[in-house]
Amino acid sequence: MEIKKAEYVISNTDWRKCPTTNRPEYAFIGRSNVGKSSLINMLTQRKGLAKTSAKPGKTLLINHFNVNDEWWIVDLPGYGYARIGKSGLEKLNRLINGYILNREQLTCVMLLIDSRLEPQKIDLEFMQMLGANGIPFAILFTKLDKLSQRQWAANFKAYQKRLLEDWEELPPIFATSAEKGTGRDEVLAFIDGVNDELKVKN
Ligand code: GTP
Ligand code: MG
């Protein structure tokens, strides 16, 4: 897919105030600092489009980016960031869950996972929550440039094994690096394919 246009449109704290189009929305989510905003910039090839930071907790709103006037990228805050305090965390969780559980236009959750880490409880629980609510998701492993081929092969194998304890079937899985551009074609082709399916249905 060619990205002809990618522009920031609006930020919200409430899913009800998000854009009213019926275009498909792909929401990027995952633990704070996992690389959501960086990946959005890599996919769109627009460097400063989504704000990134070395410090976790940069994105605190629901951010809509219009792509090609056809679909939306939604940048969400990271979950599980402790330094904002308990009430801050609860507020963020309400914002994230409000969007994910209520937003009709939400087409697929793009769940980002740091490729260097072993399976984390918070991510596995998040997937369970998505599954229980019938929300489609894909897994995007991030920061592939930070580990060797060999380490990645071992981590990936272990992760798949862990997923198969919970799930009969694996979701679509992508290996990415925002730094190197790894996985860009694959992720965009996936989105393109889902968008095409939706067009046929409508
Ligand atoms: P929050 O908005 O705080 O939840 O974080 P985020 O998930 O949007 O992460 P962000 O894109 O801001 O990136 C966090 C840090 O990881 C930054 O310092 C990025 O430069 C770094 N980073 C993100 N993706 C990659 C990657 O693919 N490779 C490397 N080496 N660093 C990355
Ligand atoms: Mg961010």
DSSP string covering 163-187, please? HHHH-SSPPPEEE-BTTTTBTHHHH
Task: Give the model's confidence band at 82: pLDDT under 50 very low, under 70 low, under 90 confident, else very high.
Answer: low
Is pTM beyond 0.85? Reply is: yes
Ligand 1 pocket check for 57: Cβ under 6 Å: yes
85 vs 195, higher pLDDT? 195
> Which pLDDT belongs to residue 54?
80
Alpha-carbon Rg for the chain in angstroms = 16
What separation, in Å, do the N-terminal and C-terminal C-alpha atoms of the chain show? Answer: 21
Identify whether the C-beta of residue 25 lies closer than 8 Å to the C-beta of residue 71: yes
Helix, strand, or coil (residue 100):
helix
| CB of 142 closer than 8 Å to CB of 115 | yes
Retrieve residue 25's tokens: 């929305």
Q: Is 63 in the pocket of ligand 1 (CB under 6 A)?
A: no
Share of the chain above pLDDT 90, in %: 81
How many of the other CB atoms lie within 10 Å of CB of 179?
14
Nearest CA to ligand 1 atom 22: 35
- Quote the tokens at residue 80: 């599980």
Closest to 89 in 3D by CA, of 77, 97, 80? 80
pLDDT for res 194: 97
CA 107 to ligand 1 centroid distance, Å: 24
- For the ranges 13-17, 50-54, 125-129, which has the lowest average pLDDT? 50-54
Whether 184 is in the pocket of ligand 1, judged by its Cβ within 6 Å, is no
Q: Is the pLDDT of residue 40 over 90?
A: yes
* Residue owning the nearest CA to atom 28 of ligand 1: 143
The pLDDT of residue 52 is 83
List CB-based neighbours of ion ligand 2 within 5 Å. Answer: 36-37, 58-59
With bands split at pLDDT 50, 70 and 90, how would you rate the model's confidence at 201? confident
Contact 136, 110 (CB under 8 A): no
Residue nearest to atom 29 of ligand 1 (CA): 143
Residue 195 Cβ < 6 Å to ligand 1: no
